[in-house]
Amino acid sequence: MAADPLFELLLRMGDNTLILAQRLSQWCGHGPTLEEDIALANIALDLTGHTQLWLGLAGEVEGAGRDADGLAFHRDVWDFRNTLLVEQPNGDFGQTIMRQYLFDAWHVLQLEALRESSNPQVAEIAEKAIKEVSYHQERSSETVIGLGDGTEESHARMQAALDLLLPYVGEFFANDAVDEIMKEAGIAPLPDSLRSAFDEQITPVMQAATLTVPDTDFAHSGGKSGRQHSEHLGHILPQMQWLQRAYPDASW
């Protein structure tokens, strides 16, 4: 293992929230209703706050003088540790809200477990974040239900979104060497230990939404390990990092 596993874990948390916030920010001013515009901006804002905490701690743990901004704005694709789900394009509003719900459902469980972390700084961030993330899940699940059980068109769009995105969910629950070490140290749960609770969370929501969960175990992977991101990340980063890269001497 090249890097410190705790550093890896913190990047996985912070990069997920960073990239998803970046995606949600693209909706600003273009949402379906004013209320949704406000909600999406609010979620992006919360996730940006979490990013500052996770990447800030990652920088401390690394001890190489990089702070949260240094990590966010000065790494290239291969150093990012977010899952493939969060870098997927926004698509229509249905895809955005389905991606959000699937992420929120995992995020709540992950933070609940991290609250019990043997690392007090990790536990503290999780404790702070979970209040906001529980609200994100409440809202995204209601919207998935409303649109799934809405009109014929909204139902079809939500089903298409679920079919498209479900294969990106498995990556959240696949254990690797970093996870094993974190579990051993009592810092984080094993990802696969959260799977049944995740299924219990989404099953009634999908039922109420009259959506059919595709019967497949196939899971894309490569994001959280950094082995192979999608092409999309390579377009998100230049936009996000441009000012910092173009004017390295400037402070903002």
Partner 1 sequence: MYAQMVKSTGTGVKSLDEMDPRERAFQERIDAGEKIEPKDWMPEEYRKTLIRQIGQHAHSEIVGQLPEGNWITRAPTLERKAILLAKVQDEAGHGLYLYCAAETLGVSRDEMTRMLLDGRMKYSSIFNYPTLTWADMGAVGWLVDGAAIMNQVPLQRTSYGPYSRAMIRICKEESFHQRQGFDIMMKMANGTAAQKKMAQDALNRFWYPALMMFGPSDKDSVHSAQSMAWKIKMNTNDELRQKFVDQTVPQAEYLGLTVPDDKLAWNEERGHYDFSEPDWDEFYDVLKGNGPCNRERLAARQKAWDDNQWVRDGLLAHAQKREAMKVAAE
CA distance 59 to 74: 12
- Quick check: 218 binds partner 1 (CB under 8 A)? no
Taking CB under 8 A as the rule, does residue 65 contact partner 1?
A: no
Secondary structure (DSSP) of 87-101? HS---SHHHHHHHHH
Q: Which residues contact 122 (CB under 8 A, 6 or more apart)?
A: 9, 10, 57, 114, 187, 188
Q: 210 or 216, CB closer to partner 1?
A: 210
Q: Which stretch binds partner 1 (CB under 8 A): 100-108, 129-137, 194-202, 240-248?
A: 240-248
Separation CA 14–CA 59 (nearest Å)? 11
Q: Does 211 bind partner 1 (CB under 8 A)?
A: no
Nearer to partner 1, 35 or 217 (CB): 35
98 closest CA partner among 134, 89, 217: 89
Per-residue x/- marks for partner 1, 2-41, CB under 8 A? ----------------x--xx--xx-xxxxxxxxxxx--x
Residue 91 binding partner 1, by CB under 8 A: no
- For residue 218, which phi and psi values (nearest 5 degrees)? -65, 135
N-term to C-term CA, the chain: 36
- Map residues 130-169 to x or -, x wherever contact with partner 1 holds by CB under 8 A: -------------x-xxx-xxx-xxx-x------------
Phi-psi region of 35 (alpha: psi -120 to 50; beta: other; left: phi over 0): alpha
**Residues at the interface with partner 1 (CB under 8 A):** 18, 21-22, 25-26, 28-38, 41-42, 44-45, 48-49, 51-52, 55, 68-69, 72-73, 92-94, 143, 145-147, 149-151, 153-155, 157, 239-240, 242-244, 247, 249-252
